[in-house]
Chain A
């Protein structure tokens, strides 16, 4: 079964509102320069306040019942938004368990209310079914923000728990998102080998080291988020390029190892044990040494490659510098003394 109709709520949202969710979410992701997943909504909250595009304040409010996690309000007179986070419901931050990660979704849900303009009209003017639709809209906004379809569908479903952890959401939030995508079948999809360090999934069965990042991957090959390193050179069965990567010369002797024009290496192999390697391998799968193509700098290091493949440049994260300005004292997080909560 690809979805459970009992918990499928997407159909109550009108078609044009689903389009608005996409439009607003795209604007939101561009404006706050969200480029890396998982998203940490607590950090994002600070970012939104700091950027001052909307006037936003937040507080961790003590002494409330456990009926709610967080609540967004809008104060029309002063044109300012306020998110009250129930201090009793913040278990641990940074999050450790599925139950801690509820807060991440709740905050994203409140961002949904704010950026979908749900708070502009007083709730007294809305019917209960309209309010219900807005709750679902906010959920959908949060789901799409924290678990983008593109990343969810390409993930390696090692287990529900592991995937939820990778996206920084609770196990239930992941399940609901999959249900709305009508892809509950992914929970039972065959598990493949994915390097836990760099997300590479092109690993041969005999490999001891990841050919992309060189990590020892025995017992560390059950990564969740997958990156497809498509920056390799086309090579033949003897790991030899069809065209020189440097001077583009195509005329080469069948057994030649170096380009007859520029003298550069043409075969990708281990510099230590000489095992042949794939066109995108930076390290030997058997001994972990660097390959000839990596030493010749035909291939960039995996971090640079990953950033380029994911459409972001490694150094241009302007929020990284901003993050340093935000003092941790600003945010009042309860101590890590709550009991270990089971999922």
Chain B
């Protein structure tokens, strides 16, 4: 099982055209550890490590967790679902929340935290968003440069 997962990771990396060092830089996981995992010297990485690897490898965290052999359990919360992951010994290792239908969340400008006692007033909301917009514009300009 373990050597296969290493090979699987290696294949994902090669498909993305990344070297081990490039992946290490992108994911902030050490390159020596990555090469040990790929060669099956180390066991299945912890959820923390898989979480860091998912984005640079162009795959979702959930898919990686599945491939790594963590066991899924789904809890229905009505509007959304929560997936719990357990290791072979049955210990809870992580949870991921998902919308049930593929909601068009991208059309929303932001998902915000909330105060149970007081919802934010529209004026405050607007002020907060205005600042977020300014920072974003600034950042996009910097990215272009």
Contact = CB atoms under 8 A, between A and B. Distances in A.
Interface stretch (B13-21, B34-42, B78-86): B78-86
B72 to A, nearest CB: 13
A120 B113 contact: no
B124 A68 contact: yes
A245 to B, nearest CB: 39
A126 B110 contact: no
6 contacts: A53-B28, A57-B139, A59-B134, A59-B135, A73-B113, A123-B114
A74 B96 CA distance: 16
B103 to A, nearest CB: 7
A63 B127 contact: yes
B95 interface: yes
Contacts of B131: 59, 61, 84
A30 B49 CA distance: 12
A57 to B, nearest CB: 5
B121 interface: yes
B116 A131 contact: yes
Given A61-B127, A65-B121, A68-B118, 4 more contacts: A64-B124, A67-B115, A76-B108, A78-B136
Contacts of A125: 79-80, 99, 103
Given A120-B97, A121-B80, A122-B108, A82 B114 contact: no
A126 B48 contact: no
Interface string A45-77: 000000001000101010111011001111111
Contacts of B98: 121
Given A65-B121, A65-B124, A67-B120, A121 B97 contact: yes
A67 B92 CA distance: 37
B94 interface: yes
B74 interface: no
B48 A76 contact: no
Interface residues of B, number: 42
Nearest to A75: B110
A40 interface: no
Nearest to A20: B95
A328 B70 CA distance: 44
Contacts of A61: 127-128, 131
A23 B93 contact: yes
B7 interface: no
B1 interface: no
Interface in B42-67: 48, 52
A75 to B, nearest CB: 5
A162 interface: no
Interface in A191-219: none
Contacts of A101: none
B123 interface: yes
